[in-house]
Chains A and B, each alone.
Chain A
Amino acid sequence: MVHEWALAEAVLATASRAAGGKIVKSLKVVLGELQNVDVEILRFAISELKRGTDLEAAEVEFEVEPAVFKCEVCGTEWRLDDALLNDREREAIHFVPELAHAFLKCTSCGSPDFRVVKGRGVWIKELVSNG
């Protein structure tokens, strides 16, 4: 999805709004594997951007949720590693994960009709604040 720095800004803005002015102690951010976010860049960006904010002291933890696909026709489940993708396709999926629907097919029956069961999106799973 978005560039790591923009994502860092968004995570902090969202967390700060959720904390409603309280000091945030810790934060857990889940990143879907499909988003293909560079966690180290994100970690660095967040540590830079949180200085001087309510989140300055917050411990930020990341968790990458592996992507799982499920065929709507035959029920087969598969992972991103099982899919044969070229670099261009990988990059496109990094920008807009739904493009997986243009490039992936069921590994068993070849159907284009599948669901992303896990591993997409970015969300704040836990937020601990003072008081």
Chain B
Amino acid sequence: MDPRLAVIPFRLGGVKRIIVVCSGKGGVGKTLISTLFALLASQRGKRVGLLDLDFHGPSVSVVLGCRGCTPLEDKGLIPVEVAGVKVMSLDFFAGSAPLPLRGRDATEALIELLAVTRWGELDLLVVDSPPGTGDELLDAVRLLKGVEALVVTTPSKLALSSVSRLVGLLKAARVPVLGVLENMRVEDDVNVQRMAAEWGLVYLGWLPYDRDLERALGDPSALFSTSVSRSLERILETANLLA
């Protein structure tokens, strides 16, 4: 009988919608997209949280430029607020120390993090996930009741084959998938569109490869003016995810 599990639904009780950004493949832009999604929704006046579930490579704090911030303690932990977004990440505690967690330990860490974080009232909680179809994702699906998924891929065959496995897993776990987002597109190609149709999923649109992105990392206001952010905004708007 684990009493911590009884606290989690209570901690998430004020959260209206939870969307996990996932891929199966590493390095396709999950962290960038989940962070921009949270920023854009917050800019529209929504109450937004951003949860970093990538325990081995937590990096939303790098994109937002809030490394070294510390959540406040008050009957639990209050997330760090950046550009209106409430952020929680193990990076705030582990700093640059490596955090070698085996599967069971990663599950425990997630339970603790969900049991301790006080999100308050949120319209949207965006969750950045680690690459792969391993424990973290299964745990997220099990512990974050009602979670929906946004699938990110690049046009590469290598990405698409991992994403296929992820889509199979999401379907088996009955997680509603909002659609497929193509990132870092460099040429006209309908591969991802074709795959999305094959998976029976909505193709949401594509984001360009943006050479100027690197310079904007760590600065939320600079991120807003990147072409990736502008493209993402249009796509999310069309998909009715910013309303």
Contacts and interface: CB of A to CB of B under 8 A. Distances in A.
Interface of A: 1-3, 5-7, 9-11, 13-15, 18, 92, 95-99, 101-103, 112-113, 116, 120-124, 127
Q: How large is the interface on B (under 10, 10 to 19, 20 to 34, 35 or more residues)?
A: 20 to 34
Contacts of B1: 14-15, 18, 123-124, 127
B139 interface: no
B118 to A, nearest CB: 9
Contacts of B73: 95
Contacts of A10: 3-7, 115
A98 B105 contact: yes
8 tightest Cβ-Cβ pairs between the two chains A and B? A10-B3, A98-B109, A92-B93, A102-B94, A102-B97, A10-B6, A124-B1, A14-B3
23 contacts: A2-B115, A3-B76, A6-B75, A7-B4, A10-B7, A11-B3, A14-B1, A14-B3, A14-B5, A92-B93, A95-B73, A95-B93, A95-B112, A96-B109, A98-B105, A102-B97, A102-B98, A121-B2, A122-B2, A122-B4, A123-B2, A124-B1, A127-B1
B100 A98 contact: no
Given A1-B116, A120-B108, A7 B7 contact: yes
Which of B6, B76, B77, B116 neighbours the largest number of chain A CB atoms within 10 Å of its CB? B6
A11 B6 CA distance: 8
A129 to B, nearest CB: 13
A102 B100 CA distance: 7
B99 interface: yes
Given A5-B75, A13-B6, A122-B3, A112 B100 contact: yes
Majority-rule SS of A interface residues: helix
B222 interface: no
Contacts of A9: 6-7, 10
Contacts of B4: 1-2, 7, 10, 121-122
Contact of B94 (A11, A92, A120): A92
B83 interface: no
